[in-house]
Amino acid sequence: MTFRATVILRQELKLRPPFELALRSSCLQLVLARWGLETAALMGVKGDQTANDDDRKVRAVEAITRAMYESGLDDHATATEKTMLEKPYKSWDYSDYVYGDHWEALGVLQWLIGRQHKIPPYYSNFDRARLFQSTGIMPADPSTIEKFVDPFMAPQMHQLLDKKQLQHEIAVAEAWIWRARAQILLELRDEIEKAEAQKITASNEETPLETVMRTKHIPQSLQKLAREMPKTIPLAAKRAYAKGLVSLLEANDFAIAVELKDSSNTTNVPYTNLDPNHLDAIRKIAESRFLAFAWAVGKTNDWSTESVSELVSINPISSVWTV
């Protein structure tokens, strides 16, 4: 059984001022520039290294950190971001590398301020090189950060984004985050039913099921829906397709275009039939874009995936279920 809400329940979504979006985008770009250096070092990428390559990378890391302070971005970066940038080269922890999941959020922020023309399908990534090029920011040069942000500070700068277009893209984001979470619940439904049957009482120790729910950012309020997921997913897919939130269906599920091996062609695969690596990648795309939209309209003030882990939707009711 599903609940249908009317469109009346929607509230007008108001974006943060353009300069706030530009500042958040700039902070992300600095951290992701550092992420690129650290990831390359972790993977042992050699390229055209010289004997002094490590020294050059150290200087680049230090220049990025200085640029944050000299441009004033330290007032807008999160505590986590500042800590990451202040760490010495090659000293990042695993949780720091996970910040690479924010590339898709950077793309959404740039789309919101007109630096990206469209948001790719939720099984495709933004072009990372284009994301960096579109701002003109050179991470080690604070003057380029100021040059990018300054136009958005002007009093006459207003949002150029059409409200209906914004509402639509938020609805699309809600549909895909719902589907990503539904897949996790589908896979966990046996464990959830077992836990409910045993009526496990609350304790200070986190159960394995609670750990998965937390690390996969699944709202606890959705846990009770796990049993109905095999029936709910086809219904949600049909509604999302009818509302234009997904472009194709396959076997009564969201269709994912997958490239064929040894070919440039693609084939459509039902979401639920994807392998674990594809499922994880698409979930991260949905989470990152959902975070960007949620933050951009003030549904959260904390920039972290965890801050929206209990947020079921940006609208009062997920757009999948409104009429």
Contacts of 206 (CB under 8 A, 6+ apart): 214
Q: Indicate the domain borders of the chain.
A: 18-153, 164-321
pLDDT over threshold 60, residue 164: yes
The pLDDT of residue 194 is: 73
Per-residue model confidence (pLDDT) at position 1: 33
Contact status, residue 28 vs residue 105, Cβ threshold 8 Å: yes
Residue 142 has pLDDT above 90, yes or no: yes
Looking at residues 135-145, what average pLDDT do you find? 96
Give the residue ranges of DSSP H helices in the chain: 18-42, 53-71, 79-86, 94-97, 103-112, 128-133, 142-153, 163-198, 208-215, 229-242, 276-296
How far apart CA 144 and CA 127 sit, in angstroms, is: 21
User: Which residues are CB-neighbours of 120 under 8 A, at least 6 positions away?
Assistant: 107, 126
- Which tokens in the block code for residue 186? 């589908």
Q: Which pLDDT value is given to residue 2?
A: 42
Token digits for 265?
């062609």
Give residue 322's identity as a one-letter amino acid code: T
For position 20, what pLDDT does the model report?
96
Residue 49: the pLDDT is: 57
Task: Find residue 60's DSSP bridge partners.
Answer: none
- For residues 290 and 209, the model is more confident at 290
Of the pLDDT bands very low, low, confident and very high (cuts 50, 70, 90), residue 31 is very high
